[in-house]
Amino acid sequence: MTPTRRDFLRFTASGIAITILPVRAARAALFEDKILELPLPQGTSKLKRRIDGVAKVTGSKVFARDIRARDMEGWPTEQAHAFVIWSPRADASFMGLDLTVLGDDLQPDYLVTAEDTMKAGLDFYDAYTYGEKMLLPKGEVPLFLGHPLAILVYRDFARFTVAKRTYKTKRDEIIRYGEATAPVEQGPFANFRFVRLEGEGGAKGEKDLFNPVDDSYVFATYDKNVVNWPKANASGDVMGRGMAYADAIRSELETPPENWHVIEREYYSPYIDAAALEPDNCNCWYDAKAGKLEIIMASQSPHEVMTGTAAMLKKSTFNISELKGHPAYTVGYGTKEHSPFPYYCIVAALFAEGHPVRLALDREEHFQTAIKRHPVRMTYKLGIDRKTLKMQSLAADLDLDGGGRQNYTTPVTQVAAGAAQGIYYFPKNDIAAIGRSSRAPLAGSVRGFGSLEAQIGTEMLVEELAEELGVDSMELRLINALQDGQRNSAGAFPLSLCRMREMIELDRTNPVWVDRAKRKAEFEAENPALKYGVGYAIAKKGFGNSNEAVAASIELGKDGKIRLQHIAVEIGTGAVSTQALICSRWLGKPADVIESAALDWSPLEMFATLSPFVMDKAHQDEMSVNPLWTPALASASSATNSAFYFTHGTSEAGRLIYERGIIPAAAQLWNVTPETAAGATWKDEKFVLPDGRSLTLAEIAAKAYEIKAITGAMIHAFDRWGWGEADYDILGQTTRRPIDGLAIQTGSDQWQRIERRNVHYMDPQVDNASWSRFAPISALIEVSVNRGTGEVKILSHHSTVDCGRILVPEFVSGQLQGGIGMSIGHALYEGMPLYEGGPGSGDWNFNRYRLPRGKDVAVWKHTATILPVTEQEDHPKGIAEVVQIPTIPAIGNAVAHAIGKHLRELPLTEEKIKEALS
């Protein structure tokens, strides 16, 4: 098949032409015709099945891992294979490899070492995120367990397989080390201190005495691994003033007022593998003669992989003028976002003399090297007024272990600190979080992203506090839940409605909660070997990060066919199916053709400079004068950003076509005013006036082409807790739109860029808000605990969730079920040693790492209440991360209710419970 012009997506980075071309085999298996049913009469649409639905259930879904060189058009048919030698030690100098142990017949065809990469000028493009020395030079101590030492490439699969097996059994003979030494100390990666005191106006006052948004975070300095906070100085600079307030908060909790009750507890969230069922993999071909490099990637952030590769190659001795990327379907839970893994396959291919190289981890390698969830040890100290039951002050210390590479430890540390307040309002808070380095395999972006870990402690603490005070914990939560108009721990006013009180009111009437004492007595009388417990928790999580960029285009064909192009990557969430559905709101039916993971938005001619996370207002103001500049080009598919942020892009493109294409064309066909035509609604794929006259989309499209109305819209939008907006002169009319880039088509396939004017972006300082848009969810859990074995069984679980306007109900249900399943594993089963004896040693698999099975998750005993959408907030909310949070502490609270003791170190294994019961 000859690819069409539309199949190629191109842009340029670091002087290298970058092209995206869909993987043919994957596309044929995944994208089927007639995937969507007709819209419902109310103007909504219902998915017949998700885009990859049939492929999923028949086992024919094609992942990146399934693709070989022979499947790729223009590639050599012979596939080479590679494996990496990873260091199982971090306590001795690496002295080289003895590959004679493999034998003469199993020597690699190509061997890549640190000396090779350094000579070629190859290293990670972003030393801050990924570190330096992607392969460890001889004579140096590995920074972490699993540090890559060398890449071995084999032209044939048989020798590769035997060689890899031999390496695994004789690894101690192959890798040579010097004398034992202390692990390398890199010092902490990050620290954030959220200090806030409300002002005279109280909870809803105009001005705080101090907060991160109006003033600053407080930052520490380091002396190796020792963290030194600034000296307190009430009349000094912002750091000194912040520390003065922090010290005052801590001092008051040490010697509290007589009417306060103070509780202090320590909790631990474990080191966890996200267990993505597709291990890391990549396939790459370097054609030196043509100066071309092609990559098949399993990534949540393909834009980052492509631009990062271009930046890496620009500094190297390789002369590459063209870079092609092939994003394929994958799964990751965040572990395939900003992962260092693809760059190792790219490096292997560069040294393979024109042979396509496949680097695909087995499960043991994936455990050894894949991005992990940060373990977090947290100490919370909370003061509350005994009479009013109003929480007065919170001091918290969170200690995160980021492993041997920075990766996303800095933002995870920030998010954890910002989330520690949970759903509650505190007049005062001093929350300090440290993201440390260690010799553990790296931790990074995993579902929940710091917010999950921090709120485990918050919700278990509140349960213990209620017990000490002798009050109902639901009542305690109800009194202290954050309300509209109250600031968060960073001093920001949340943009989302605070409906947590509404949720608690519903949950406290649930019979499981109301009758919990009676149920406990009856259950334990009927089951003498078991104990019964009920636990509750409620949490919230921001959706998206503080800097989200989206690009989308919709093209309406003359025949009424709709083509959607979007940056969204399908990682199993249904994001691409959902975006196809969004088109029906404006065009009467879902998209007919969808191009996902698109990277070419060249008609917009936009560019970015600094990372939006580090730029200041001065840089933004300077660059905003250029109408082609944007703070960020494209977001990864992560941070549960598709429902709200990605939908905004699709919706804005559709809205423009509707307003400036559908309405004027329909008005001419009906011979009515545009205002009258705007009164029509979509019904069964027809645009229907109140008097019954109707038009098909094809009829409207043909007319729109004839009158040169807008038939295509490509938009770019950027949000920093508020959409950037600008004025656009569109076909003689000026409108202000919540986008920062626009190109249109008017009856042809040629794009015309529309220059923006008077752009406005939110001040970068609002990044310090930590979270602003959020979704809340609660969990009510019933458990039984075996008195003899300590085994915990989930008897039932109920969720109450505010997900805003639901786009696809089945996807909401799926996220709830998946999130709860992961929660149960986190609470009861999952955890690993951080260092020696842990996954970094290279011998972990699912025989040692227990995941929850169907029998563990009470699959038929789950119910949910979805809050109805409100007029004030008629938009979707991302829930893919928050759904995992409250079930974890709810299980902890249920176990405590069952056995009469609070266990504070997760997971709550049978051994820990048996010890508590003994």
Neighbours of 627 (CB within 10 A): 17
**pLDDT tens for residues 658-667?**
999 999 999 9
Give the alpha-carbon dihedral of 193, 199, 202, 205, to 10 degrees. Answer: -100
Average pLDDT score over residue span 586-598: 91
Q: What is the pLDDT of residue 6?
A: 33
Q: What is the pLDDT of residue 33?
A: 34
Closest by Cα among 199, 78, 184, 54 to 131 = 184
Contact 725, 736 (CB under 8 A): yes
Contact 466, 535 (CB under 8 A): no
CA angle 184, 189, 195 (to 5 degrees): 145
Q: H or E element: which one contains 753?
A: strand 752-754
Domains of the chain: 30-60+547-769 (3.30.365.10), 64-183+281-330+336-369 (3.90.1170.50), 191-271+373-544+771-917 (3.30.365.10)
Q: How far is CA 670 from CA 587, 665, 714, in A?
A: 17, 9, 28
The full DSSP string for 478-531 is HHHB--TT---TTSPPPSS---HHHHHHHHTTSHHHHTHHHHHHHHHHH-TTEE
Q: What is the pLDDT of residue 14?
A: 60
User: Cα(28)–Cα(18) distance, rounded to whole angstroms?
Assistant: 23
User: Cα(699)–Cα(682) distance, rounded to whole angstroms?
Assistant: 14
**pLDDT tens for residues 372-405?**
999 999 999 999 999 999 999 999 999 999 999 9
Confidence check: pLDDT of 445 > 80: yes
Contact 899, 792 (CB under 8 A): no
Window from 482-491, 596-605, 818-827 with minimum mean pLDDT: 596-605
Using 50, 70 and 90 to split pLDDT, how confident is the model at 301?
confident
Length of the chain: 918
Q: Where are the alpha helices (DSSP H) in 316-394?
A: 341-350, 363-369
Confidence check: pLDDT of 558 > 60: yes
User: Cα(811)–Cα(378) distance, rounded to whole angstroms?
Assistant: 33
Average pLDDT score over residue span 662-691: 97
Confidence check: pLDDT of 495 > 70: yes
Neighbours of 437 (CB within 10 A): 25
User: Cα(346)–Cα(309) distance, rounded to whole angstroms?
Assistant: 8
* Highest mean pLDDT out of 5-19, 428-442, 765-779: 428-442
Q: What is the pLDDT of residue 3?
A: 31
Window from 17-31, 705-719, 800-814, 859-873 with minimum mean pLDDT: 17-31
Q: Using DSSP, state whether 553 is helix, strand or coil.
A: strand
Window from 61-75, 567-581, 608-622, 855-869 with minimum mean pLDDT: 567-581
Give the alpha-carbon dihedral of 896, 899, 902, 905, to 10 degrees. Answer: -90
Mean pLDDT of the chain: 93
Neighbours of 745 (CB within 10 A): 23
Q: What is the pLDDT of residue 640?
A: 85
Q: What is the pLDDT of residue 36?
A: 35
Q: What is the pLDDT of residue 408?
A: 95
Q: What is the pLDDT of residue 30?
A: 35
Confidence check: pLDDT of 210 > 80: yes
Q: What is the pLDDT of residue 600?
A: 84
Contact 410, 163 (CB under 8 A): no
Q: Using DSSP, state whether 562 is helix, strand or coil.
A: strand
- In this prediction the pTM is 0.93
Tokens 């906070």 correspond to what residue? Answer: 229
Average pLDDT score over residue span 621-630: 97
Buried b (16+ CB within 10 A) or exposed e, 439-460: bbbbbbbbbbbbbbbbbbbbbb
* Residue 561 phi, psi (nearest 5): -75, 140
Closest by Cα among 597, 635, 643 to 815 = 643
The full DSSP string for 593-630 is EEE-S----GGG--B--S-TTT--HHHHHHHHTSTTB-
Closest by Cα among 567, 492, 419 to 720 = 492
Strands 774-786 and 530-542: antiparallel
Closest by Cα among 197, 302, 322, 304 to 248 = 197
* SS3 of 314-327: HCCCCCCCEEEEEE
